[in-house]
A and B are shown apart, each in its own frame.
Chain A
Amino acid sequence: MKKIRLPLVALILCLILTLCGCLDTADINASNSIVSYSSSNATTDISSVEDEKLGTDDNLSSQTRPSNTDNIPAYSNKPYVVLNGNKPSFTKDMLVTKSYESYSSLDALNRCSVAVACIGKDIMPTEDRGSIGQVKPSGWQTVKYDIVDGKYLYNRCHLIGYQLTGENANTKNLITGTRYLNVEGMLPFENMVADYIKETDNHVIYRITPIFKGNNLVASGVQMEGYSVEDNGDGLCFNVYCYNVQPGIEIDYATGKSWLKGASSVSSGVSSATSSATASITSTPSSKISYILNTSSKKIHYPSCVSAKKIKDENRGEYSGTNLKSLLGQGYTYCGNCFR
C-alpha cells in the first residue's frame, strides 16, 4: 500500500499547470459547476502561504474547509440530506489526480475535524481492517440497547472509511458515531466511492467534516463531499449531511450520554475519551421502563404514543423492564411511530 500524506508534489504540479493555463481546458462544466470556485481565486489560493500547509497533519488550509452547514434541517427519519443542490464546494485547485490523504489535528477537546483525500486505487487497503477498540473518540460511551442493530449504540466511525484509504486506528479519523450514522448514513456513500474507484481507476476528491455544536463532544452529524476528477463529476458528485442520531434513542451531544426515547434516566456508560484511562464498562440503561403492548397486533409502544392510547382494553397489555428481547422473541415488533 502506497500512501502520500503530503501532496506537495501534486500541488506544485497543479500550480505549474494552472499557470500554464492547462487546467482551464479541464474546466468543470456548467451543469456540475462547483459553487465556490472561481478561476482567479484558484490561482490565488494555490500560491498562498496557507496552501503550503495543505496536507500536513497540523494545518488544513482554508481551501479545504467545506461549505456552510448552518441551515441543516432537523432529522426527519432519513439518514442523510442533500446540501447545496448536491454540489460539493471544492475549489478547482483541489481537483488533483495524485492520491493523498490528510487529517486535522484533534482540538483542545480531543475532537476530530475535517479530513480530506484524493482517493485512488493506490491508497486503498489490501488487507482486512485491524482492531480499533483501543481508540476512545471524544464523547465515547460504551452502551448497549436492544433496539440497536448489533446492540452497541456507538461505533468508532471512520471519517474516511477504512475501505477507502486503509486508515485503521488513526485517532484523527475516528469519531463517536451511532450505529445508524455508520451503517445507514455514511457507509452507502463509502460503498459508492469505493466501487467507482475500483471500476474506473479514476480518483475521487473526498472530504468528511464532523459538525460539532459549541463544546459538544459528540458530533451532531457529518458532512460528506465527493467528486470524481477525471470525468469532471460525471461519475460521482455529492454533498450530503448524515445525521448522528439513533432512532428510538435520545443523545446528550455534550457528553455522549443517552437514554431510550420517552425514558427519563440516562445510560451509565462511563468510558469516554475525556475521562482518565479506565476499563470500558458496558451497561444497558438501568431503570425499568414501562411499555404498552397491543396483544392483537403484537406492537410495542411507549405510553405516550398516540396509537397506544387507542388500543382496546381487551388487547391492551403492559410491560415493565428493559429486556425487550424477550418480547421480540414472542413475536412483538416495535411501533413504527414511537421507535423511529
Chain B
Amino acid sequence: MPMKLILCVDEKGGFSFFGKRQSRDKILINEILKETGGNLFIDEYSACLFSEFKDVKIIKDISEAALGYFFAEGHLPSLDLVDEIILYCWNRHYPADIFFMVDESLFILEFEQDFKGSSHEKITKKIYRRKLS
C-alpha cells in the first residue's frame, strides 16, 4: 500500500459539497506540486487546477496512482491503498455533505505546519503515516 493521498478539509472536517470542492488556492497548488515532485496523479475534476502543469497525470482509476501521490477532490477514495495522508486544512468553514476525519487508530500525525495561501490567511498542512500493524 504505497500510495500517498492528498486531501483538503475545512475547519469542521468538511471535504466536499454535492461533489464539488469547497475551496481552492493557487499557493496550495504550488505547495502540492513541490511536495509531490512530479509524481502527482489527479482525476478529471481536478484538471482545471493544474492546467499549467504538464507533468501532472490525469487518471480514471485511483489504482493507477499506485507508487505516487493522488490528489482527491469531490469524492473520497478508499484508504485501503494509502500509507500516507497529506491533509491541508483550510481553517475556514464551508458547506459540506462529505466529511473526512483521520482515523488515528490507523494513522499517526508526523508533521504539522501552517502557511499563508493566496486567498487563505492560514492553511495547515498535516502529514499522517499509517501505523505499523
Which residues of chain A are near B93, meaning CB under 8 Å?
Answer: 183, 187-188, 191
Q: Interface of chain A, helix or strand or loop or mixed?
A: helix
Residue B95 contacts which of A80, A183, A199, A235 (CB distance < 8 angstroms)?
A: A80
Alpha-carbon gap, A235 to B94, bound state (A):
14
B18 contacts the other chain (CB 8 A): yes
Which residues of chain A are near B92, meaning CB under 8 Å?
Answer: 191, 195
0 or 1 for each of A179-213: is its CB under 8 Å from B? (1 = yes): 00001000111011011101110000000000000
CB <8 Å contact, A238 and B119: no
Which residues of chain B are near A236, meaning CB under 8 Å?
Answer: 20
Bin the interface of chain B by size. Answer: 10 to 19
- In the complex, the number of residue pairs spanning A and B with C-beta atoms less than 8 Å apart equals 48
CB <8 Å contact, A234 and B95: no
Which residues of chain B are near A114, meaning CB under 8 Å?
Answer: none
- Given the interface pairs A237-B20, A238-B17, the reply to whether A195 lies near B119 with Cβ below 8 Å is yes
CB <8 Å contact, B94 and A188: yes
A95 contacts the other chain (CB 8 A): no
CB <8 Å contact, A189 and B24: no
Alpha-carbon gap, A200 to B48, bound state (A):
11
B120 contacts the other chain (CB 8 A): yes
A86 contacts the other chain (CB 8 A): yes
Alpha-carbon gap, A72 to B24, bound state (A):
31
A26 contacts the other chain (CB 8 A): no
A82 contacts the other chain (CB 8 A): yes
- Most-contacted residue by chain B among A183, A192, A200, A235 (CB, 10 A): A192
CB <8 Å contact, B23 and A195: yes
Alpha-carbon gap, A188 to B20, bound state (A):
14
Taking Cβ atoms with an 8 Å cutoff, the residues of A that contact B are 80, 82, 86, 183, 187-189, 191-192, 194-196, 198-200, 231, 234-238, 240
19 additional A-B pairs beyond A80-B95, A195-B23, A199-B25, beta carbons within 8 Å, are A86-B18, A183-B93, A187-B93, A188-B10, A188-B93, A188-B96, A191-B92, A191-B94, A192-B17, A192-B22, A192-B94, A195-B25, A195-B119, A196-B23, A196-B24, A198-B118, A199-B23, A238-B17, A238-B18
Interface CB pairs A-B, < 8 A, 26: A80-B95, A82-B18, A188-B10, A188-B93, A188-B94, A191-B93, A192-B23, A192-B94, A192-B95, A195-B24, A195-B25, A195-B92, A195-B119, A196-B23, A198-B118, A198-B119, A199-B23, A199-B24, A199-B25, A200-B24, A231-B48, A236-B20, A237-B18, A237-B20, A238-B17, A238-B18
Taking Cβ atoms with an 8 Å cutoff, the residues of B that contact A are 10, 17-18, 20, 22-26, 48, 92-96, 118-120
